[in-house]
Amino acid sequence: MFDLSGRLALVTGAGQGIGAGVAAHLADQGARVLVNDLALDRAERVASSIETKGGDAEPLVFDVTDLAEVVEALASRGLDIVVNNAGNAGARMMQPAPFREMDPAQWAPPIDVNLHGVMNTTHAVLAGMCERGFGRLITVSSGAGVVGLPIGVAPYGAGKAGAISFMRHIAIENAALGVTANSVALGLMAMTEVHDEALVAKLASTVPCRRLGTGDDLGPAVVWLASHEASWVTGQTIHVNGGSVTT
Ligand SMILES: NC(=O)c1ccc[n+]([C@@H]2O[C@H](COP(=O)([O-])OP(=O)(O)OC[C@H]3O[C@@H](n4cnc5c(N)ncnc54)[C@H](O)[C@@H]3O)[C@@H](O)[C@H]2O)c1
């Protein structure tokens, strides 16, 4: 079950964190994985760690917000599975603030990576998936795209909600062509750049399962959505969150 042998997968923003975990799980199931990131050293590290464990992976640098770069990198690849994981991170880490205090210059970056990035990769791969009669589009969204939160992330939430809605429309437009499009809405995850143990413990205490999530929590859900067996699952938002948001 869930054998991905012979499938070519892309995970964007997979040079660290959740995306790295997802890439490893896809490779474990037999997929060849293109490990995308803005940072070459990160993508190389993750790809080589997959290869060391016997998997098949290749680093692939591009910026998901740059349509021309995305098309050049992906159009001729024949991708079967695309996991839109790149989010606000690294140099583009968003600065949380209540919207009324936010400079309008802060609105666009989270929407650019979390919504336009997903549209860019989808544009580059969708026609080929439809022609071949198989495709799996999986977008990593967030509880912030589903419910309101008091943590100063309104533009990020708008980008994540937009991506969920975009997946639903793509799902319905292409449902008869063998292409599925789904989202996973994550709760509080362990963050690569946060090393404050007291803060981690405080955040974990707010999660019903009493711990932060990892790529190992998301990876199996993505493997399932990417599989042949999930061909009747499309247009959905799967919550992977330790019970934080129940709908
Ligand atoms: N960490 C959380 O608590 C949490 C919660 C809900 C949802 N999410 C979502 O999960 C996903 C992964 O989060 P994470 O915490 O592992 O992130 P992270 O910041 O640890 O890693 C993201 C990676 O994406 C890369 N990246 C950023 N912008 C990019 C771009 N434009 N093009 C290509 N690569 C780019 C970065 O270089 C980085 O290596 C994101 O979409 C995030 O919004 C995270």
178-228 residue pLDDT tens: 999 999 999 999 988 888 899 999 999 999 999 999 999 999 999 999 999
85 Cα–ligand 1 center, Å: 6
Per-residue pLDDT at 193: 80
Q: Are 191 and 154 in contact (CB under 8 A)?
A: no
Residue 90: its pLDDT value, please? Answer: 40
- Please give the pLDDT value at position 93: 63
**CATH class (in words) of the domain with range 8-240:** alpha beta
**What is 207-238 written as a DSSP string?**
STTSS-B-HHHHHHHHHHHHSGGGTT--S-EE
Which tokens in the block code for residue 229?
């067996």
pLDDT digits (tens, 9 = 90+) for 14-59: 999 999 999 999 999 999 999 999 999 999 999 999 999 999 999 9
Percent share of the chain, pLDDT over 90 = 92
User: What pLDDT is recorded for position 92?
Assistant: 55
Alpha carbon separation from 134 to 52, 183, 233, 243 (Å, rounded): 29, 17, 13, 32
- The whole-angstrom separation of Cα 146 and Cα 165 is 10
* Nearest CA-CA partner of 145 in 177, 105, 118: 118
Using the atom order of ligand 1, give the atom closest to the CA of residue 84.
41
Question: CB of 180 within 8 A of CB of 226?
Answer: no
pTM (two decimals): 0.98
Average pLDDT score over residue span 155-184: 98
Distances (CA, A) of 114 to 55, 62, 88, 119, 162: 28, 15, 8, 9, 8
**Across the chain, what does the average pLDDT equal?**
95
Which of these is catalytic: 21, 74, 156, 234? 156
Average pLDDT over residues 71-96: 85
In sequence order, the β-bridge partners of residue 149 are none
Question: Edge-to-edge, what's the strand order for the sheet holding 237-240?
Answer: 56-61, 32-37, 8-11, 81-84, 135-142, 179-186, 237-240
Q: Which of 69, 72, 142 has most ligand 1 atoms within 8 Å of its beta carbon, as the pocket-test mutant?
A: 142
Specify the pLDDT at position 216: 98
Q: What is the pLDDT of residue 222?
A: 98
Q: pLDDT tens for residues 87-99?
A: 974 445 678 899 9
Residue nearest to ligand 1 atom 24, measured at CA: 13
Q: Is the CB of 89 under 6 A from ligand 1?
A: yes
pLDDT the model gives residue 95? 83
Would residue 156 show up in a list of annotated catalytic residues for this protein? Answer: yes
DSSP bridge pairs for 59: 35
**By alpha-carbon position, which residue is closest to atom 43 of ligand 1?**
87
In DSSP notation, 140-198 reads: EEEGGGTS--SSS-HHHHHHHHHHHHHHHHHHHHHGGGTEEEEEEEE-SB--TT---HH
pLDDT, tens digit (0-9, with 9 covering 90-100), for 107-147: 999 999 999 999 999 999 999 999 999 999 999 999 999 99
